[in-house]
Amino acid sequence: MDPTVQLELSVDRGSPVPLYFQLAQQLESAIEHGTLTPGTLLGNEIELAARLGLSRPTVRQAIQSLVDKGLLVRRRGVGTQVVHSKVKRPLELSSLYDDLESAGQRPTTSVLVNTMVAASAEVAAALGVAEGGEVHRVERLRSAHGEPIAYLCNYLPAGLLDLDTGQLEATGLYRLMRAAGITLHSARQTIGARAATAVEAERLREQAGDPLLTMQRVTFDDTGRAVEYGTHTYRPSRYSFEFQLLVRN
């Protein structure tokens, strides 16, 4: 029957948090905690607005934000209901460091190289800087439980950020960039595979010719500047890319 459910909802008009956001948070946590079970109908927007003392557009804005997150589905003539399947990670710009940490793996990082170099043609093209101009070059080996997981080589435009080796070993590159006031906007990624060279194999304690998972990425900030270019190699036995994505209908 998919019954519609009465839910305790309230908003605080004195709070600086937007009303639609307060409502969205309450609905989201109700879904998270199982108070709103999958398939439940949310009840019509008009009545919900009246119950909360809000206008309909405000209620719609709250609901829409959860639809965008994939937690709710709207059907005209039917109603709004909670999605059955559990959506966990709608695919963020994944940070290996954060991935490992949230998996309880306590990652460790050793910085192998942290210098300025002249940009090669490949790096210059990716970052949109002049070929031969100076860029940061950082090479890191990331491990967990004493086993190497990935070899990360990154290039950053000069003058964007202080790259302190100690900080690089204590956290991820993305956190440093955000902390420096850089607003990440989008990234272009390529994921592939290839056989390990002898040098790569030694770094990751594999054999030459063994399969490696590879990823190249260029990250842009909200002004459109390229702020990072990275070429990474992963041990496929220790890491794979896992994510949930939503279909644009």
Partner DNA sequence: CAGTGGTCTAGACCACACT
Partner DNA sequence: GTGTGGTCTAGACCACTGG
Which chain residues interact with DNA by CB under 7 A?
16, 18-21, 42-47, 53-58, 60-61, 74-80
Q: How many CB atoms lie within 10 A of CB 6?
A: 8
Residues 121-180 touching a copy of itself, rule: CB under 8 A, are none
In the bound complex, what is the minimum distance in angstroms from residue 221's beta carbon to a copy of itself? 9
Cβ atoms 63, 25 nearer than 8 A: no
By CB under 8 A, the count of residues binding a copy of itself is 49
Question: Per-residue contact track with a copy of itself, 203 to 222, x per CB under 8 A?
Answer: ------xxxxx------x-x
DSSP 122-182: HHHHHHT--TT-EEEEEEEEEEETTEEEEEEEEEEETTS----HHHHHHS-HHHHHHHTT-
Question: Per-residue contact track with a copy of itself, 61 to 90, x per CB under 8 A?
Answer: -------x-x--x---------xxx-x--x
Q: Which of 164, 155, 153 is nearest to 129 (CA)?
A: 155
Cβ atoms 21, 11 nearer than 8 A: no
CB nearer to a copy of itself: give 46 or 116.
46
Name the binder of 56 from DNA, a copy of itself, none, CB < 5-8 A by kind. DNA
Among 131, 188, 198, 205, binds a copy of itself (CB under 8 A): 188
Cβ atoms 127, 119 nearer than 8 A: yes
Name the binder of 18 from DNA, a copy of itself, none, CB < 5-8 A by kind. DNA
In the bound complex, what is the minimum distance in angstroms from residue 155's beta carbon to DNA? 28
CB nearer to a copy of itself: give 106 or 243.
243
Residues 19-38 touching a copy of itself, rule: CB under 8 A, are 38
In the bound complex, what is the minimum distance in angstroms from residue 40's beta carbon to DNA? 12
Q: How far is CA 188 from CA 14, 94, 96, 191, 221, in A?
A: 41, 12, 16, 10, 12
Among 10, 183, 198, 208, binds a copy of itself (CB under 8 A): 183
Cβ atoms 56, 212 nearer than 8 A: no
Name the binder of 21 from DNA, a copy of itself, none, CB < 5-8 A by kind. DNA
Q: Is 185 in the site for a copy of itself (CB under 8 A)?
A: yes
What is the rounded CA–CA span in Å between residue 135 and residue 115? 8
CB nearer to DNA: give 12 or 162.
12
DSSP 4-72: B--------TTSSS-HHHHHHHHHHHHHHTTSS-TT-B---HHHHHHHHT--HHHHHHHHHHHHHHTSE
Cross-strand pairs, 47: none
- Positions touching a copy of itself (CB under 8 A) are 38-39, 57, 68, 70, 73, 83-85, 87, 90-93, 183-195, 209-213, 220, 222-226, 236, 240-249
